């Protein structure tokens, strides 16, 4: 699974204007809705907010992966972005979030959902990838960092 095939440039927001967890999630859900990624925006938003209320998705390294399962989409969809300022996501390492990847998938697509979460986590374990994400000043630069780091080494 390639993140770049699921996360088109038009679903990347740089900068995310919201300054809190709820606002960031809502802004990314709205980006999915605006790019025909969702069949029911409100159902998708509620699913992601419900999951976030159960346990933080701020996993460390400045990354949050808010996600949920909802009938509000037909397939796994993603949006991502960089907040204009670090956002408190109650992350497990106590640090604010500077990169957010949001996933929504139908309840019957657990495998793809888990694979996508794992792939994003692996990318964030690469220091060079984190540096490129930090430096990215546009959706295109962020997308290029994802594409470059998930490509097999030659």
Round to whole Å and give the CA distance between 80 and 139: 9
Q: Is 67 a catalytic residue?
A: yes
DSSP for 78-110, written as a single string: EEEEEESS-B----TTSPPBSEEEEEEE-TT-H
The topology (CATH level 3) of 3-149 is Mannitol-specific EII; Chain A (3.40.930)
Tens of pLDDT, residues 48-97: 999 999 999 999 999 999 999 999 999 999 999 999 999 999 999 999 99
- Average pLDDT, whole number, for the chain? 94
Single pTM value for the model? 0.95
CB proximity list for 26: less than 8 A, separation 6 or greater: 18, 45
Instruction: Return the domain boundaries, the chain.
Output: 3-149
């Amino acid at each position: 699974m390639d993140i770049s095939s699921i996360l088109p440039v038009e679903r990347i927001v740089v900068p995310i204007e919201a300054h809190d967890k709820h606002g960031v999630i809502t802004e990314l859900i709205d980006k999915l809705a605006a790019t025909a990624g969702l069949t029911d925006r409100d159902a998708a938003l509620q699913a992601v907010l419900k999951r976030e209320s159960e346990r933080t998705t701020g996993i460390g390294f400045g990354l949050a992966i808010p996600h949920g399962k909802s009938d509000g989409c037909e397939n796994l969809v993603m949006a991502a972005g960089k907040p204009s300022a670090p956002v408190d996501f109650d992350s497990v390492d106590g640090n604010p979030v500077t990169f957010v990847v949001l996933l929504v998938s139908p309840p019957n697509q657990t495998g793809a959902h888990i694979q996508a979460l794992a792939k994003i986590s692996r990318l964030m374990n690469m220091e060079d990838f984190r540096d490129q994400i930090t430096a990215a000043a546009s959706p295109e630069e962020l997308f290029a960092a994802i594409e470059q780091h998930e490509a097999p080494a030659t």
